[in-house]
Amino acid sequence: MKQDFVFTSESVTEGHPDKLCDQISDAVVDRYLAEDRFSRVVAETAVATGIVFIAIRVASRASVDVPSVARGVISRVGYDRDSFNAHSCSIMTSATELPASDYVEVDETDLDDAGLEQVPAGNLVTLFGYACTQTPALMPLPIWYAHKVARRLGEVRLTGELSYLTPDGTVQAGVEFRARRPHRLHSLSINACLDAADSPDPEQVTRDIRRRVIDAALEDEAIRPDRDTRLFINPKGSYGEGGPAAHAGLTGRKVAADTYGGFSRQASAALSGKDPSRIDRTGAYAARHAARNVVAAGLAGECEVQLSYSIGAARPVSVQVNTFGTGTVADPEIGERLRAAFDFRPAAIIRRFELRDQTTRRKGAFFSRLAAYGQVGRQDMGLPWELPDMAEALKG
Amino acid sequence: MGGRLRARVYLLRRNPALAAHLESDLAARPGILAAAANPATGTVSLRHDPAHDSDWALAQVADAAARAPRGRRPASLNGGDRPSRPAPGAAPAQSSGQSSGQSSGQSSGQAPAQASVPDTPWHLLDGAAVAGRLDVDAAVGLIAGEAAARLARDGPNALPEAPEPSRLAMLAEQFASLPVVLLGASAVVSLATGGLVDAAAIAAVVAINAAIGYLTESQAERTIRGLTRRVQQHALVRRQGTEAEVPAESVVRGDVLSLSAGMFVAADARVVEARDLTVDESMLTGESMPVHKSPAALGGGATPLAERVNMLYKGTVVTGGAGAAVVVATGEGTEIGTIQRLVSGAKPPETPMQRHLNALGRQLALLSGGICGAVFLTGMARGYGFAQMLKASTALAVAAVPEGLPTVATTTLALGLRQMRRRKVLVRRLEAVETLGSIGTICFDKTGTLTVNRMSVTALDLAGRSLDLRDGAFTQDGAPVAPGTLADLAWMLEIAALCNDAEPDRNGGAAAGSPTEAALLHAAHGAGIDVAALRARLPRTYTRRRSERHHAMVTYHATADGGRLFAVKGAPAEVLSRCRWLRRDGETVPLAEADRVAVLAGNEKMASAALRVLGVASHRQDDGGPLPEDGLTWLGLVGMADPVRSGLRDLLGRFHGAGIRTVMITGDQSATAYAIARDLDLSGGKPVDILDSTRLDGLDPALLAALTRQADVFARVSPAHKLQIVQGLQRGGQLVAMTGDGINDGPALKAADIGVAMGAAGSDVAHELADVVLEDDNIETMAEAVSQGRTIFANIRKALHFLLATNLSEIAVVFGATALGLGQPLTPMQLLWINLVSDIFPGLALALEPPGAHVMERPPRDTAEPIIRRQDLARVGVEGSIISAGALAAYGAGLARYGAGPQAGTMAFLSLTTAQLLHALSCRSDRHRIVERGRFQRNPLLTAALAGSVGATALAPVVPALRRLLGLGPLGAADLAVTAGAAVLPLVVNEAAKPWLNRLGAGGPGKGSGQGVMS
């Protein structure tokens, strides 16, 4: 990899149609798990021109009124316009019951080692986890900044500071790297959808966003916009109200925003809308957990962990580590230590992170909160895969 | 493709000015694509947007005619009571110049008897003035004797029915057809050439044909007229201070109508009281959204019909609310009476089948005529005698021209209708029979159609405490609970009983009221609550009923200490959103977030058990202020079960097997709907697609069409949306059947290709608007109806197939023999015999073939498919040719043995007749061979007809008189054997070749076969 480069990552607000779909899908998952922790559910959502399509495949004792869950999310996110609002939008639900054999009422906490071995991975998939020392959260800087600014963009609308904003917004942060370390903020682009009737002229909007969003979000950071940082605020003119009335959304289209902003390799599978039995979701958390602890243990300045699973086997068929030359210990050695210290089996991951109970513990909203502003690397939820609890074990 | 209408307008003839006006007025109206008025014929033709139907278009024409500038038109065009409209700007000079002439013309005795006060602008007067003019006190109504006197004076409140066609005319019609004329000519020719017997025989044939035709047509006519006999309507009138139900015909001017949802408006009336009164006036104005009515007088100026919000019109339907109105016009003096008068003479449109058959009949007549002419010329060319050829070709023309194709269809339709009537399916429009076979989607209401509509409370949820209720006993987790020990339970049920329109009866049930509310009363009674006393203690002061915007009902009650009690019940999410407090274990506590989540979870649990769930809340305050936005106290959830009708799963499976999609429409939430849909296997094994929408009208039409095509269930839908659902499905190319009760879904019932109403449970409105009424309220009958519809269509095809094939064989035999110079195989008398004996009765018997086993196992017929397709004609051609080949072969054998003479002719005659009769057996199915016994039900009629015909034909050579008449010669045993062979062989060949014949012209194996509804 080149040592000097500009890298861009994108994040979006909760109201962006793609993220909205992620949140609706995960809200459905939450609701099923809250009522029946052994639920198997896959929920895919699409939204376009004011119509929401939700396809679910489910095996569960619970019964959930999916449209009302969706309306709840839409209302929480703040869509209340005539063009699209929680009350009047049309929701088409397509529900299939998974075969009864898919529904297994086995509590992972009760399983012994042999039992854990009996729960195989259901997908043939390779997952990546990443950690680096660019930020205190051990996340790459571009995505970290993009999330921060996007969060702030969502906040100023809710607090009323910039009440003319609508829930839909996109942030792209470009960071200039020298010798693979973040050097400065090269460019920042924000697309903030506005209420055409209420909003002031574009110059005022630019000033408002510059001051209240960008500066406010990044004021505590070491790398802030400097004189040469190119700021693009609604560069192609305002997109109007945005939201589902303007552009369509789909679950799983913002996987990069869910993880590392593209800085690391990434499996293409969506994370949202899947219950904990899906290794192509939980494996990403486990991989992050591993990478994070590698860096926390000081074994490397930058670490990418690759987990490959095969159908029918519980243990991953391959655990690879790449430290991009920053490792104090050889990469294969780190891999060995990971294999020894971490249990990457699907049932073990569920048990370790208590994925079946997080929803109930957090008042019915766990996965749906994960569905916006990153599923890994966030520091506001006390996530079990963000804890450096295995660092000591790795130091060996 | 747009809708088309042709209407005859009174006084348009020889009135070019009116024609010009009508054209420009109509063309300018939205929804009308093109209009042309012809003063020569007095008719208006127009093309309109297919979204509107022909009744709307008729109303437009009538309205345009009424707005025409006054010329030399007599007053009756204007109607009696309608206020004067100022003439359009173009003709003020005209009107002023003629004003004296006009007004005298108006008040001359031309006005119809019922409307004796000319031009009163009722909508401009206020209610009291109206009542005064009509000499009635609106609060009391007409007094004793007054109603009868007015009835005698003004005549009944009835619109003239179209007159029955006279019997004589029908009989005369039988003689007016081309074949009869030809036969007559043939008889004349016979007489002229000295064949007296022949002429007499021809006359006899004509008479018999006419008799049979007359009988069948008059029966059919009677049956069809019986279809649309107006439902006996009733009206509620206020007389002598009390309400009485009277037949609609006895309503008179000055009567005070008492109106509520689901009723027809019996006569034109001026609204004097209105409580949320909404009316569907689509049959007059074309406006499908209900109109709010109010009693206030309107300002001056020209107010079009659709904007007269203080008037009601005869024939419109009350969709909501209640009110009272004073009748200002009855019978022909009403708006609808005027329209009927203006456009009388517009014939009811032919069904597509009739239209097609008429066209086909004309084509075939021309073709046959051409061939007969060719036969004549060929014969002449061959040197046969002129008179002989003339007789021969006219006889051939008679036998060969397929007369009365539409008659066969109509007769079969009528017979089929009687059949359906016997099975409790009442069909009200002839077209519906045709359409039934092509239905692609059936939309069922959930309540009352899929369910029994007998609600009972089975579960309650009080702040997390789940109770079950069965047979009046409350239990919690199996342990009995005495209602007295749970104060909250009693309180919640009391609120539910207060916020409730049902009337309690002595036994704790409800004497009147909706099933939901009756169930609540029943539950309250079970908890020991005396509802009547409760309501007396807390009198109701205000009611806001559940509406589309507010899914909850709110009532205000006055408490003994001068305070106010609010009682709320409705959709759980909505009621919960207005609560800030919660009642738990006898205490009122703030409603926490966790409590909200628990309530919603309880709601979902009940809904997933297919219960209808209501939330109940209340609020008490010391003063008389209004209901606070969110100050209610949540009391609990009530879950009610409406059992699903038994046997539905299998029934829906039958529909699915017939290629018909079943769709459920309900106001319930998605979870309830899903539970029911899953139990009934509504989606036929596929994933259940539920569309949950409160704003279908805001969707792009193409999108709506796609969504409706996809959805199996429409949840949270109000009856007003059903029209959009129907239109969405139709736009997607489906033929839609929809059930309805007529109260709010009148437009939907009308717009659906088949509107279905329940017999006993449906309202008058539903009966009037529906195309099919299921008299025993059993939707199993619906499957019967579809099966019968398909069978009738298939049978008409079979009968036509038979007739066409036999006619063709006759032509081919004569033409072939003439062309080959073999002489005349068949005498005219023999041709007539064939016509009489071997065509009519087997044809009728085929038309009554019972349904084949697989009529409900094929996908619906494509509506665009005509009844006789090209492949059918091709098949007819092949089969007919095979039959005629057999007869010609027999003829040839006879010629070889006996030379030209009666014997050869006899062989041809016998073999042709028998082959045709045997062909009837082949026509029983276009797919299955006779030998496949299992596929056929017994058709005793056909057996009898064939036996009779074969017997008669066998008798002919034996009975001397017949032998002479038909000119038959003696035959030996060998000849008979050849004849028999020539008769049977075509049947064998046709049967053997059936699979290939099936593929004729259909473009390959299997391609056309899936579409056919011939079983």
Smallest CA-to-CA distance from B252 within B330, B135, B137 is with B330
Residues in B 551-590 with any Cβ partner in A closer than 8 A: 573
pLDDT for the residue numbered B234: 82
- Please check whether residue B594 touches A, CB under 8 A: yes
- Please check whether residue B307 touches A, CB under 8 A: no
Residue B53 makes CB contacts below 8 A (sequence gap 6+) with: B3, B750, B751
Q: Calculate the dihedral angle through the C-alpha atoms of B712, B718, B722, B728, rounding to the nearest 10 degrees.
A: -60
Instruction: Please indicate whether the domains covering B122-159+231-342 and B794-999 agree at the CATH topology level.
Output: no
Please say whether the beta carbons of B867 and B361 come within 8 A.
no
pLDDT for the residue numbered B298: 79
Please give the structure tokens belonging to residue B313: 């019109």
DSSP for residue A102 = G
Q: Calculate the dihedral angle through the C-alpha atoms of B798, B801, B802, B803, rounding to the nearest 10 degrees.
A: 120
CB contact under 8 A, A49 and B700: yes
* Phi/psi of residue B32, nearest 5 degrees: -110, 125
Nearest residue in B to A31, CA atom: B601
Please say whether the beta carbons of B554 and B619 come within 8 A.
no
Q: Calculate the dihedral angle through the C-alpha atoms of A102, B714, B500, B528, rounding to the nearest 10 degrees.
A: -20
Whether B445 is catalytic:
yes
Dist CA A172 CA A191 (whole Å): 9
Dist CA B487 CA B737 (whole Å): 49
- Please check whether residue A133 touches B, CB under 8 A: no
Q: Quick count: other Cβ atoms within 10 Å of Cβ B653?
A: 15
- CATH architecture of structural domain A113-134+256-269+279-357+372-395: 2-Layer Sandwich (3.30)
B759-765 contact pairs (CB < 8 A, 24+): B759/B424, B759/B426, B761/B448, B761/B453, B763/B262, B763/B263, B764/B231, B764/B233, B764/B234, B764/B262, B764/B263, B764/B264, B765/B262, B765/B263, B765/B264, B765/B317
pLDDT for the residue numbered B231: 64
CB contact under 8 A, A90 and B687: no
Instruction: Please indicate whether the domains covering A5-11+142-240 and A113-134+256-269+279-357+372-395 agree at the CATH topology level.
Output: yes
pLDDT for the residue numbered B348: 52
Smallest CA-to-CA distance from B559 within B582, B536, B528 is with B536
Please say whether the beta carbons of A146 and A9 come within 8 A.
yes
Class of domain B456-641: alpha beta
- Please check whether residue B597 touches A, CB under 8 A: yes
The tens digit of pLDDT for each residue in A87-120 reads 888 999 999 989 988 888 889 888 999 999 999 9
Distance from CA of A364 to the nearest CA of B (A): 8
Q: Which residues of B touch A96 (CB under 8 A)?
A: 687-688
Q: Which residues of A touch B573 (CB under 8 A)?
A: 68
CB contact under 8 A, B687 and A50: no
Q: Quick count: other Cβ atoms within 10 Å of Cβ B170?
A: 15
- Please check whether residue B711 touches A, CB under 8 A: yes
CB contact under 8 A, B604 and A67: no
- Among partner residues B670, B703, B716, which is closest to A51 by beta-carbon distance? B703
Distance from CA of A81 to the nearest CA of B (A): 14
Spans of all domains in chain B: 3-107, 122-159+231-342, 420-451+645-778, 456-641, 794-999
3-class secondary structure for A349-385? Answer: HHHHHCCCCHHHHCCCCCHHHHCCCCCCCCCCCCCHH
Cα atoms in the Cβ-side hemisphere of radius 13 Å centred on B708: 31
Q: Which residues of B touch A68 (CB under 8 A)?
A: 573, 600, 669-670
Dist CA B853 CA B856 (whole Å): 8
Chain A, chain B: beta-carbon pairs less than 8 Å apart: 84
Dist CA B434 CA B786 (whole Å): 10
Q: Which residues of B touch A64 (CB under 8 A)?
A: 604, 671
Please say whether the beta carbons of B354 and B406 come within 8 A.
yes
Q: Which residues of A touch B604 (CB under 8 A)?
A: 35, 62-65
Distance from CA of B670 to the nearest CA of A (A): 6
- Among partner residues A34, A55, A91, which is closest to B692 by beta-carbon distance? A91
Q: Which residues of B touch A93 (CB under 8 A)?
A: 670, 674, 689-692
Please give the structure tokens belonging to residue B830: 């023999």
Residues in B 601-620 with any Cβ partner in A closer than 8 A: 601, 603-605, 607-608
Please give the structure tokens belonging to residue B310: 């203080």
Q: Which of B25, B198, B445, B839 is catalytic?
A: B445
Please give the structure tokens belonging to residue B722: 């059903």
Please give the structure tokens belonging to residue B302: 């020209």
User: CATH number of B3-107: 3.30.70.100, 3.40.50.1460, 3.90.950.10, 1.20.1260.10?
Assistant: 3.30.70.100
CB contact under 8 A, A91 and B703: no
Q: Which residues of B touch A97 (CB under 8 A)?
A: 678
- Please check whether residue B548 touches A, CB under 8 A: no
Please say whether the beta carbons of B45 and B5 come within 8 A.
yes
Smallest CA-to-CA distance from B115 within B305, B338, B318, B317 is with B338
Q: Quick count: other Cβ atoms within 10 Å of Cβ B312?
A: 29
Spans of all domains in chain A: 5-11+142-240, 113-134+256-269+279-357+372-395
| Helices B780-819, B405-422: inter-axial angle, 10-degree rounding | 160
- Please check whether residue B692 touches A, CB under 8 A: yes
Smallest CA-to-CA distance from B136 within B122, B146, B126, B148 is with B146
**Cα-based angle A73, A272, A78 (whole degrees, multiple of 5):** 20
Tell which phi-psi region holds residue B304, choosing left (phi > 0), alpha (psi between -120 and 50) or beta. Answer: beta
CB burial string B868-885: b at 16+ within 10 A, e below = bbebbbebbbbbbbbbbb
CB contact under 8 A, A88 and B695: yes
Cα atoms in the Cβ-side hemisphere of radius 13 Å centred on A130: 22
- Among partner residues A65, A88, A94, which is closest to B669 by beta-carbon distance? A65
Smallest CA-to-CA distance from B663 within B755, B724, B729 is with B729
Dist CA B569 CA B498 (whole Å): 10
The tens digit of pLDDT for each residue in B387-401 reads 777 777 776 776 766
Q: Which residues of A touch B689 (CB under 8 A)?
A: 92-95
Amino acid at B569: K
Q: Which residues of A touch B716 (CB under 8 A)?
A: 67
Using DSSP's 3-state secondary structure scheme, residue B236 falls into: strand
How are beta strands B465-470 and A249-250 bridged, if at all? unpaired
For A353, A367, B938, B942, the CA distances from B845, given in Å and listed in that order, are 78, 70, 12, 5
pLDDT for the residue numbered B390: 76
> pLDDT tens, position by position, for chain A (396 residues)?
568 999 999 999 999 999 999 999 999 999 999 989 999 999 999 998 889 999 999 999 888 889 989 999 999 999 988 888 888 889 999 999 899 888 888 898 889 999 999 999 988 999 999 999 999 999 999 999 999 999 999 999 989 888 899 999 999 999 999 989 999 999 999 999 998 788 888 899 999 999 999 999 999 899 999 999 999 999 888 778 889 988 999 999 999 999 999 999 999 899 999 999 999 999 999 999 999 999 999 999 999 999 999 999 999 999 999 999 999 999 999 999 999 999 999 999 999 999 999 999 998 899 999 999 999 999 999 999 999 999 999 987
Q: Calculate the dihedral angle through the C-alpha atoms of B52, B56, B57, B63, rounding to the nearest 10 degrees.
A: -140
For A34, A284, B397, B445, B912, the CA distances from B367, given in Å and listed in that order, are 77, 79, 10, 51, 22
CB contact under 8 A, A363 and B597: yes
User: CATH number of B420-451+645-778: 3.20.20.70, 3.40.50.920, 3.40.50.1000, 3.30.70.580?
Assistant: 3.40.50.1000
- CATH architecture of structural domain B794-999: Up-down Bundle (1.20)
Residue B278 makes CB contacts below 8 A (sequence gap 6+) with: B290, B291, B292, B293, B318, B319, B320, B321
Report the run of H or E that residue B235 belongs to, with start and end: strand B234-239
CB contact under 8 A, B690 and A87: no
For B240, B830, B893, B910, the CA distances from B984, given in Å and listed in that order, are 81, 20, 16, 11
Residues in A 269-298 with any Cβ partner in B closer than 8 A: none
Residue B895 makes CB contacts below 8 A (sequence gap 6+) with: B822, B823, B904
Amino acid at B819: A
- CATH architecture of structural domain B122-159+231-342: Distorted Sandwich (2.70)
CB contact under 8 A, A363 and B710: no
- Please check whether residue B696 touches A, CB under 8 A: yes
How are beta strands A230-233 and A181-194 bridged, if at all? parallel
Smallest CA-to-CA distance from A68 within B596, B341, B728 is with B596
Give the helix ranges, DSSP H, for A36-161.
Answer: 66-77, 113-117, 141-159
Residues in A 74-103 with any Cβ partner in B closer than 8 A: 87-97
Amino acid at B616: V
pLDDT for the residue numbered B350: 64
| Helices A17-35, A66-77: inter-axial angle, 10-degree rounding | 130
What separation, in Å, do the N-terminal and C-terminal C-alpha atoms of chain A show?
30
- Average pLDDT of adjacent 10-residue blocks, chain B of 1015 residues: 72 73 81 79 80 80 73 33 33 30 31 42 79 80 82 82 71 71 73 75 76 77 68 81 86 88 86 86 71 81 77 84 88 78 55 75 77 81 77 72 68 80 82 84 86 85 85 82 82 92 78 82 87 90 81 89 90 90 88 88 84 92 79 93 84 92 88 87 89 79 86 84 86 85 74 83 72 83 86 85 87 83 78 78 82 81 78 87 90 84 84 90 82 77 87 83 80 84 88 81 43 40
Q: Which residues of B touch A88 (CB under 8 A)?
A: 693-695, 698
Using DSSP's 3-state secondary structure scheme, residue B243 falls into: strand
pLDDT for the residue numbered A370: 95
Amino acid at B671: A
- A5-11+142-240: CATH topology is GMP Synthetase; Chain A, domain 3 (3.30.300)
CB contact under 8 A, B692 and A90: yes
Dist CA B801 CA B956 (whole Å): 27
pLDDT for the residue numbered B102: 31
- Among partner residues B594, B604, B689, which is closest to A63 by beta-carbon distance? B604
Distance from CA of B738 to the nearest CA of A (A): 21
Please say whether the beta carbons of B602 and B608 come within 8 A.
no
Residues in B 653-682 with any Cβ partner in A closer than 8 A: 669-671, 674-675, 678
